[in-house]
Structure 1
Amino acid sequence: MKSLLPLIVAAPLLALAACNSKPSQPEVVDTNPDPMANVLANRAPVELPPAIKADKTFRCKDNSLVYVTFFQGDKQANVRLKEGETPVVLKAPAAGEPLTAEGGWKMTGDEKAVTLTTPKKAAQVCHI
């Protein structure tokens, strides 16, 4: 029994000693240079789209509803006149300036009240 114990201990130690935990060279998977590396290194930085700040439903003076999604930075908002329709993207060159889009869209205000001008309606005030 005493001679069997050293063999039981020696077998796992021998298996561990055969493992090379630090290879001399890393494994090379691909030696081809990246053809886009130079283009990617010299490209302009990417600007991420703004995060949603608030999503509000407003009741306007003519009793219609307007659905507005405000974005961080106060330079963009999405406006829908009917729920589920494709939104109109209104943008401003700087925060605090009126948000506009092609076709006569214009909006000023914040998450509590807006003044909205659409191609079919004159400017009207809308509240939460």
Structure 2
Amino acid sequence: MADPQAEEIEELDPAELPPMRVREASFRCDDNSVVYVSFYTNDSQVGVAMEQDAIQTILPNEAMAAPGEEGEEPAEEANGTPRYSGEGYTLIGNSDASSIQFARPGGGLQTCDS
């Protein structure tokens, strides 16, 4: 039996799967606080929480989230390290790094080590 919606389905754009977690890590920062971070595929976003098992705040990769002005590349760290930010949080670091830079709302960037 033929599918009555076959033509409509053929015309649809392929679905994009949501990003998957590739690494979960905890980092102790210079002020002795701990941040729990989930890194996602393609450096698309990170999830951060200040307590273990808390609901994470998702921070998009700035280079992927906000396109620059016409013909201009989005800003990126000088060394090509992804920068994530949102809701007052900022995280700079690669998913395989043993150290990141992190700022919570109202605070400045500080170094955090795993």
TM-score by length of 1: 0.65
Superposed CA RMSD in Å reads 2.0
For the structure 1 residues 36 and 127, does the alpha-carbon distance in structure 2 shift closer, same or farther, using more than 3 Å as the test? same
1:5 is matched with which residue?
Answer: none
SS at match of 2:7: helix
Q: 2:18 corresponds to which letter in structure 1?
A: P
Q: 1:72 corresponds to which letter in structure 2?
A: T
Q: Which has the higher strand share?
A: 2
- Quote the offset at 1:37 in angstroms: 2.4
Q: Which has the higher contact order (CA 8 A, sep 6+)?
A: 2
SS at match of 1:73: helix
**How many Å separate the matches in 2 of 1:120 and 1:84?**
23
- Quote the offset at 1:121 in angstroms: 2.1
How many residues are matched? 96
Q: 1:113 touches 1:125 (CA, 8 Å); kept in 2?
A: yes
1:67 aligned residue (33, 36, 42): 36
SS at match of 2:8: helix
Q: Give unmatched runs, 5+ long, in structure 1.
A: 1-30
**How many Å separate the matches in 1 of 2:6 and 2:104?**
47
2:91 is matched with which residue?
Answer: 107
Q: 1:68 touches 1:79 (CA, 8 Å); kept in 2?
A: yes
Q: 1:40 corresponds to which letter in structure 2?
A: I
Q: Which has the higher helix share?
A: 1
Q: 1:57 touches 1:67 (CA, 8 Å); kept in 2?
A: yes
For the structure 1 residues 120 and 41, does the alpha-carbon distance in structure 2 shift closer, same or farther, using more than 3 Å as the test? same
Q: Give unmatched runs, 5+ long, in structure 2.
A: 66-79
Q: 1:74 touches 1:96 (CA, 8 Å); kept in 2?
A: no
2:47 aligned residue (68, 78, 82): 78
Task: Give % identity.
Answer: 29
1:45 aligned residue (5, 9, 14): 14
